A = this chain, B = another copy of it.
Amino acid sequence: MTSISHSDIITSTVKKLSDPESFKNLSHQHREGEPMPSSEELNDFINLARAILFPGFFGNSTINSRTLNYHIGVKVERMYELLVEQILAGMCYECAAKDVTHFNEYQEKAMDKAASFIEKLPELRRILGTDVLAAYNGDPAAQSTGEVIFCYPAIRAITNYRLAHELLLLDVPLIPRMITEMAHSETGIDIHPGATIGEFFTIDHGTGVVIGATAIIGKNVKLYQGVTLGAKSFPLDEEGNPIKGIPRHPIIEDDVVIYSNATILGRITVGQGATIGGNIWVTEDVAPGARIIQSKAKK
């Protein structure tokens, strides 16, 4: 090929790729000046949240009793501004086709949602404190709660989930999923923001854990790496596609432990205090206190 023909290929390929027919359903039309929600901004949001919730561990500021409130004040205000912008971007993503004249109304809603979220931060700190304690108590290798907060991927994934879940409860679109996917990429732990999870929750190691959108998890539950709380099969609509919004993931009651790579599928209930051994496939209810393991290996 010659340099001319390379140039021809570029020109003709650009023409094909610019044909609207070729990107139908694969592109997004922006309203004037309204960007998509931004991964970079949401990453800043997570870093702000970690620095606010666990003072002195994250963020590069030093803390002492006299200046702590300055730092928290600046970070909470920054979080509010960032959230207003990102929530608005999420709402505009969904409303792209709708009447532009409602923009001011959306902006007010975004400000309300952001303020409501800020108001939840003290309770989020309290419940994450129970998760930290559960991780520390449950792991003989943990040296201190500080090491758990600072190093354990599970705390990062659960923090992202609890933040995202609050945003989902406030009807914020798109962003909750982005936040849990950020933790998924970082830790290999995939918790859908729609799941409901009680306090003192912990995950050991965690890579490969999947918790579905309608799962309900009680207090004091512990999961190991590779555990799936998934859906078994989906009722199909008339066109053969899964019907959305139906409860389809397990209910895990209080004090349950599930070992590595176990797969729990469907709207079944794992009763209080049950223990599920590793590498098994569970699609029926498990009685409270039961202990089930894989059938013996073949030699």
Which residues in A have some Cβ–Cβ distance to B below 8 Å? 1, 3, 5-7, 9-11, 13-18, 20, 22-23, 25-30, 32-36, 52-57, 60-74, 76-78, 80-81, 84, 93, 111-112, 114-115, 118-119, 121-122, 125-126, 128-129, 132-133, 137-143, 145-147, 149-153, 173-174, 177-178, 181, 184-188, 190, 192, 194, 205, 207-208, 210, 212-213, 224-226, 228, 230-231, 234, 241-246, 248, 259-263, 265, 277-282, 290-299
Contact = CB atoms under 8 A, between A and B. Distances in A.
Given A14-B72, A67-B77, 10 more contacts: A6-B111, A10-B118, A13-B122, A17-B125, A29-B64, A33-B84, A34-B62, A140-B242, A265-B278, A279-B280
Contacts of A263: 259-261, 278-279
Nearest to A31: B62
Contact of A141 (B5, B18, B141, B192): B192
Contacts of A111: 1, 3, 6
B188 A115 contact: no
The count of identical subunits is 6
A293 to B, nearest CB: 5
Contact of A115 (B10, B34, B76, B143): B10
Given A143-B173, A153-B184, A64 B230 contact: no
A118 B181 contact: no
A37 to B, nearest CB: 8
A242 B137 contact: yes
A50 to B, nearest CB: 11
A26 B292 contact: no
A194 B242 contact: no
B10 A80 contact: yes
Given A64-B29, A74-B70, A294-B280, A178 B205 contact: no
Nearest to A176: B151
Given A69-B14, A260-B230, A7 B64 contact: yes
A84 B33 CA distance: 10
A73 B67 contact: yes
Contacts of A260: 210, 228, 230, 263
A128 B149 CA distance: 31
Contacts of A15: 69
A57 B61 CA distance: 24
13 contacts: A6-B112, A9-B119, A13-B121, A26-B132, A27-B55, A28-B55, A28-B146, A36-B56, A71-B74, A141-B212, A207-B210, A259-B281, A261-B279
A28 B151 CA distance: 14
Contacts of A185: 153, 186-187
A233 to B, nearest CB: 10
A139 B62 contact: no
B292 A295 contact: no
